[in-house]
Every structure is written in structure tokens, then in C-alpha cells.
Structure 1
């Protein structure tokens, strides 16, 4: 528990250490800004949302269906014009608004990341069916912790839905939903760990969760403000994720030392998850449409199968404990 409090203090210290910025070298460059100004002036109406009649005829059907505005079309075209100029000058591939440039497919902005997000959604949905069959919500009265895992799975599936939507179409609202829901998934794992550690110790659980949940609300409000620093947001997710890993590592190691055969599954899950995070931290430009972020999503897609196998076995263990306790009280 001391390690947990130390980790929370680290978050408090680091909270104000990261500058808020949404610009990158690509969208700050005069090449991009001049191109964008000229493109919007020639092709868009005053609000930037609608096309002038001739420009509208040039937009393909898939982009029309996904509602790419005139301003967004200009940003996309000028992004690649700027990339070509940077590469011709030997300056590499620049970022735009904190992210790498991607070639869209059928109007989908980041096809590789969208596909990988769908795989993660499918894995969580598959395991939700298993948990729902073996531990339906009707068992909540006997085992309240069942509600935790039903709720956590809903949080995860919701997060992967918005991750898919965001990578298909990046705008202010989908960005906010993706970042907020991703943090809810990270925080959900941390909260689930605290609840499992403090099983039947409600007061201690509330004390441990009060500050982190307050930070979650504060960060969601920051995301809603619309000016998001990608690196800052990722760092916060990594910090909260690291604390969650510590909590689950301590719990599963204790279970392993007590001879519970299912505990290594959690240890494997944590090890593989931490190894996968390296891809997100590397942050290299796209290769054949796959950047570090998309590959990270791809590598995490099978991990829910391992994690929820542990959850199911742990629920069966708790169920056995409850039955033994009940039988003891009757004797």
C-alpha cells in the first residue's frame, strides 16, 4: 500500500510538469500554413465546412459518406504536400497536431489503427459473453464483485468503440471521446485492482480511490477543453497504468505464493502488456500504414483473452470461498 501512495504522489508532482501544446513542426511550418490558406480560399465557403460547387465534384464518395468537410480536405491535402517538401529537403516526416501523417483508405483516416482497435473490441466482447454466461448479473447479491467485472468490460468495449471511430474520423469530438474513454479503461484496471485488493474492506477502498478518481475527472475536463497535448495525455495514461500494474502485480504475486494455479496468467498478462507499451513509447512514423501506435493496438488485441481467463478463475475461487464460509456458518 505504501508503494501505491508513493505512485499517487508522483502523479501529483508530475501533473504540472508538462507544457500544454497542440502544435507540431508540420502544422507550424509556413509551407503548410500557406497551402492551407490558399486551399481554403479557393475551395471552401466562408465557414470552411462546405465546398464551392467545383471543389465538391472532386471529393470522392467515401469521403462524402464520412462527412469530410472542405477545411478537413484542405488540411489533409496540405499535410501531404508539406510532407513531400520536408522529405525532399531531407528533413524526414513531420508530425501534424501531435500525430504522424497517414494515407487514408476509403475515407478512413488511420485504417491500420482502426482495424487493430476493432480486434481489441472483438476480444473484449468475446470474453464478456463468457463472463456473462458463467457469472450473470443475477449473482450480484451473493458476489457483488461480479458487477465490477461486468462494468469494467462495458468500459473497455466502449473505449475500443470510440478508438475505432476516432481512428476512422479524427475530429474534436471523436478525439475527446477516444482520449477520455482510453483513460477510463486505464483507470478502470487500476480501480478494479484496488477493489480486488480491498475486497470487503470498503472504507480502505474509498480512501485509496478518492484522489485518483478526482484526477480522472480533472483530466477529462482538461480534454474537453479542446487543446490537447498528445505526449502529456499519453504520459498521464502511462503513469496511471504503471500504478495499476503495481497493484495487480502485488496481488497476483501474493496469490501465486499462496499456491493459486491461475495467478501466473495475470503475471503473464502484465509482462506482455508492459512489453507492448514499448511500441507506443517508440513513436516512429508509419511504415506500410502501420505506426507504433497502430502496432501497439495490434499487439494488445489477444491480451484480453489471457486477462479474463484469470478473472474467471479468480471469480470461481471467490465463489468457492463464499460457499465454504456459508457452510461454516451453518455448522
Structure 2
């Protein structure tokens, strides 16, 4: 991310990046559909020798309008910024989304955010993008505003995958809820990845010869509970293969909160306090309640062997996958 700027609001946006091409959207997941919007913006910026900037919104608007039903965030802000940087952008602006901001008139959004805040020369967005009070700003309205105010507007059609279905964050979440991380990767264009701090657990795995790096994921994560072949990235960028369990540990702690526990192959290190990431390559099996710890340890040996075999043949799906999971 060298040279890349992650800006928290317009006040943090550097003057040197004004006057660029701005891709606008929530971009949760930065999936293949989002990537078509972002690719159009990046290509135009390069052609015109202009800064390439992404404008997104934090937190997810649904958390403001439906706080009782928070959305499963595929890419929290820090991970989304990593993905956007890997796609070759100069900056992301994370506009704070509040109820007050949601009430801004569409014309005022154009004037205050796009013109005064970013000095946009060209705006690129998807056909479903709406902005301003009651989502009153439409792509057509944005194009009219651009014509009146002197900036270009490109509206990118929805992207369909090889089956003809529109790629969406909702489809990705549905795949992950079934444990189908391969389907999710096909929609994302890279392996689904989570990022969190390594925390202390009960250290039971250590007594069985399988010490794990434990991460508490947000409550709204609906990834299917089970065992996965994964790749673990440390804070310094070093990668290690592993096998991970996500769930409630029914053999020892069925009432506990879901936890992601990763047994990292060929690594013995103190990871507590590190913010690390885990990329998911394959679903191995469901969680299982064993008769005892010996039976659980024997199954963990089999899981390790299966994960090693699966990971030995992996190849990157794209340049973005190469940047995130390889």
C-alpha cells in the first residue's frame, strides 16, 4: 500500500489528489461486479493521467437504518482499503455515514462531496447507485449534474458471471452461509478473507499438539460453522498454510461464542495481539461433537492431512487473489 492514502472523511483528503476520477459505491466485498466499476475508473484515470480515487461510506448504511439487523460485512473498512490499494488506486475516502448525512439533498451531495470535497473530473458508478435524501439521486440525475457542473459521468452495467447471474454481495453471503467458499471465491474473484486480532483462548489445542491462533469475528458473520483449509497471513505479510475451525467447539464449549481457530502449519510463534488475516480455500467438513479429546485429536490429524493436500495444488484466481492470498 506504499503511496496509497486511506482517508477518513473529506477533511483527510489531500489536495494533490483533487481533480481525479472518482469511483463511488459501498463496494462491500469488492467482488467481480464492483471490480468492473473500479476497473473502468482506473483505466480512465490512467488514460487521462489523473488521480484514481474511490469514495465509499462507513459504516455500512444498513447499520444506520437497520441497527437491529446488522449486515454481514464481507470486507470491513481496513480490508476493503487493502483490496482497493491492490487494484491500483491512489486513495480511498471513507465518508462517515450518519443519519444526518443520509438526509443531504442530492444536489448538495454533488456540490459538497463531489465538487468541493473531491474536485471530481469524472465519476464512475454502477447502475444501482443512489445518493442523497430518500435515495433521490439516481444515475441519470448524476449524469445531468455532471453535464451542468462540468464533470463526466460513466454508469457501468451490472456484471453477470459465467452462469448469467448478476454478481452481488448477497450471493456471496449466501454461498458463505453454506460453507461454499469456492463459489464465494468465483464471485469475488479472490479467496474470501477475514481480518482480526489474535486473542487468547482456552489453549486446549496446545495440550493436544494443535496450538491455534484464535480470532473473534463479528457476531453478524454468517459463515457456515465447520472446518476449512486456509492460508494465514501475519501482520508482517508472511504467509502460512493451515486448517481452521469456525464455530462453537461442541466437544468442549458448545455454549461459547463462535470463534475462528487456526492451526498454522510449520509455525511456532507468539501471535497474541497481532492483527492477521485468514483466507479460505476449501470446506472440509461440518463441526462434530466427539466422544472425547483423543477422538477429536485423531480427526484433527486427518483434517490437517486433507488441508495440506488441498492447499498443495492451489493457484491464484486473479491478480487480486495473488495480492491478498498468495
Structure with the larger RCO, 1 or 2 (CA within 8 Å, 6+ apart): 1
Question: Normalising to structure 1: TM-score of the pair?
Answer: 0.26
Greater strand share, 1 or 2? 2
Question: Normalising to structure 2: TM-score of the pair?
Answer: 0.26
Greater helix share, 1 or 2? 1
